[in-house]
Structure 1
Amino acid sequence: MSTYSIENSKDSILRPNSEFERRIILQYYLDNDIKINEIERGILNECHVSEHESIGIIGCLLDDKSLLNSLRLVIGANNRSNFKLSTLSNSLLDSEILKKAVSYYFEENKYDSLNRNEQIIRREFNIVY
């Protein structure tokens, strides 16, 4: 088993000050086209990272059609230093879901009514969009 495992590195993935370790693991999954399992999906959904590249990679790994994930994918699509991340994020984006996500997170709900992860992703989305 690889040492680059989301499931076996839960503490590193979730620890606020582990940007380097987290990004190494996430990038390994992205570079090797590794599909995540349900445990890893849960860990990634708990992750409160504010670093753009990691947010984008998480969006690609989750590869779901949720409103929040659409915002993650936009952040990933706007990454200029990671071509694979940018390309994959763009390919996974759905413009209709993105419209709904923007409406939900920026028009229908106030910042204070969002959970911590939603607040972080909304804030970082504002920087790149």
Structure 2
Amino acid sequence: MKRAISTHKETILRPNSEFERRVIFQYYLDNDIKITEEEREILLQCVAVEPENIGIIGCLLNDNSHLNTLRLAIASTNKSNKKLANLSKELLLNLDVNTADIYYFVEREYESLTKVEVDVTNVYLTFC
């Protein structure tokens, strides 16, 4: 089975495919695979509600956005996936979680959030 995000776009974007996504995402994480621009666009659209998937997406995207900062904060709390937790903590060193928190929970109106933002912020509130 080829485990490319671009090959499995429908699976990545389909609701209720958390396990299938995690297999693909974990493959990327375990093998230190850098994502392509096409894969980045797919991940940016991915609605995930499982904390490990959200965290791996954050590590794969590796950007400085407020949303990705929350993704990495979620990943840093992971107890079972040490590689994910350690990588996310490393990536968080140059980011400000408090600024991202304020952005989403003070400055933004809940009604203006995208589905992706809603799911990430809901999981963030649960785990962080």
Say whether the fold is shared (TM-score over 0.5): yes
User: What's the secondary structure of 2:15's corresponding residue?
Assistant: coil
The letter for the 2-side match of 1:90 is K
Q: How does 1:1-129 map to 2 (within 5 A)?
A: 3-94=2-93, 96-129=95-128
TM-score (norm 1): 0.95
Unpaired runs of 5+ residues, structure 2, are: none
Unpaired runs of 5+ residues, structure 1, are: none
Query: Does the 8 Å contact 1:65/1:97 carry over to 2?
Result: no
CA distance in 1, matches of 2:36, 2:12: 15
> Structure 1 pair 91/48, CA: closer, same or farther in 2 (3 Å)?
same
> Structure 1 pair 102/95, CA: closer, same or farther in 2 (3 Å)?
farther
Query: Does the 8 Å contact 2:70/2:97 carry over to 1?
Result: yes
Q: Kindly state the Cα deviation for residue 20 of structure 1 after the two structures are TM-superposed.
A: 1.4
CA distance in 2, matches of 1:89, 1:71: 10
Aligned-residue sequence identity (percent) comes to 52
Q: Kindly state the Cα deviation for residue 97 of structure 1 after the two structures are TM-superposed.
A: 2.9
CA distance in 2, matches of 1:37, 1:56: 18
Q: Kindly state the Cα deviation for residue 111 of structure 1 after the two structures are TM-superposed.
A: 1.4
CA distance in 1, matches of 2:74, 2:39: 21
**C-alpha RMSD over aligned residues:** 1.2
Q: Kindly state the Cα deviation for residue 94 of structure 1 after the two structures are TM-superposed.
A: 4.0
- The number of residues matched between the two structures is 128
